[in-house]
Amino acid sequence: MKAIDFDVMPGGLLIKKGLKDIVEQQITIHSCLIVIAFTKFKNAGLIDADKKPPFLDGEITLYNLLGEEPGDAFSKYNALLRQLVSFCHALNQVKNNAPHTE
């Protein structure tokens, strides 16, 4: 697969930050997004194949973190999940359009 340009991918900056937070073992809103789609990111080569999620229940953890911030946690949660889904769709497009090497 060709290199991912996170700056142009939908939700790319959130995912880029989340991957950094995962490496640093931080529980953040961004790392929760990575945990939610951990297998997809492993399969895409964005996470080492032997790595395990640093925590479980990414959805619940995300919602709890959002609840600690001002504003409507439910709306923020849904918006973040939409961005995650958009990134994953774009990632599939990049993967499917990559030249095959054997």
pLDDT: which is higher, 99 or 22: 22
Is residue 101 helix, strand or coil? coil
pLDDT > 50? residue 25:
yes
Q: CB neighbours (10 Å) of residue 85?
A: 14
Query: pLDDT band at 1, cuts 50/70/90?
Result: very low
DSSP output for 16-80: HHHHHHHHTT---HHHHHHHHTHHHHHHTTSS-TT---SSS-HHHHHHHHHHTSSS-HHHHHHHH
Q: Is residue 102 scored above 90 in pLDDT?
A: no
Residue 102, SS3? coil
pTM above 0.75, yes or no: yes
Burial class (CB in 10 A: 0-12, 13-18, 19+), 71: exposed
How many angstroms separate the Cα of 35 from the Cα of each of 14, 24, 42, 94?
13, 14, 10, 21
The overall average pLDDT reported for the chain is: 91
pLDDT tens, residue by residue, 34-68? 999 999 999 999 999 899 999 999 999 999 999 99
Q: What is the model's pLDDT at position 98?
A: 64
CA 3 from chain center: how many Å?
Answer: 16
